[in-house]
Amino acid sequence: QVQLVESGGDSVEAGGSLRLSCRVSESIYKNNCMGWFRQAPGEEREAVAVASFTGAFTDYADSVKARFTISQDNANNTVYLQMNSLKPEDTGMYYCAAKWGGCMRLSGGPQDRRGFAHWGQGTQVTVSS
């Protein structure tokens, strides 16, 4: 069974940090592109960060560059999103997702979700000012 399970969401003040985790079932973890997405109420789901299985390729949305870092623990089939200097506009439900094959550079539009067939249930991040 394909599973992605996120954890680590919380309520923090602006300027704070959180680390999200996504445990991925082995059947889809290897040789895939992993991504973190977020969705605020009334907004479209947007890509935040993507990383290849090897970690050789990563890309970030412009709004989170230099603040967020995607990383992997391949021994434990886990993908992380380290979020620093959090802002109120980072508030939303954060989803982990996987797609077969390689990652594409993020463009900032709905096409960033293309190919991501497997999704977790999400974890809520709330940043207060």
Percent helix, percent strand, percent coil in the chain, to nearest 5: 10, 45, 45
> Taking a C-beta distance cutoff of 8 angstroms, is the pair 97, 84 a contact?
no
pLDDT at 26: 79
Average pLDDT, the chain: 94
Coil vs helix vs strand at 74 = helix
Query: Quick one: pLDDT at residue 18?
Result: 98
Per-residue pLDDT tens digits for 58-79 = 999 999 999 999 999 988 999 9
Residue 53's pLDDT is 85
**What is the predicted pLDDT for the residue at 21?**
98
What mean pLDDT do residues 83-87 have?
98
Structure-token match 């380290």, residue found: 82
User: Which run of H or E residues covers position 60?
Assistant: strand 58-60
Q: For residue 126, what pLDDT band results from cuts at 50, 70 and 90?
A: very high
Q: Distance between CA atoms of 110 and 11, rounded to whole angstroms?
A: 27
pLDDT tens across 9-43, in order?
Answer: 999 999 999 999 999 987 777 778 999 999 999 99
Structure tokens given for 102: 């390689």
**When comparing pLDDT for 92 and 74, which is higher?**
92
Calculate the CA 59 to chain-centre distance: 11
What is the per-residue pLDDT across 96-109, written as a single tens digit (0 to 9) for each?
999 988 999 999 99
Q: Indicate the DSSP class of residue 75.
A: G
Neighbours of 125 (CB within 10 A): 21
CB atoms within 10 A of CB 77: 17
Q: Mean pLDDT across the stretch 1-13? A: 93
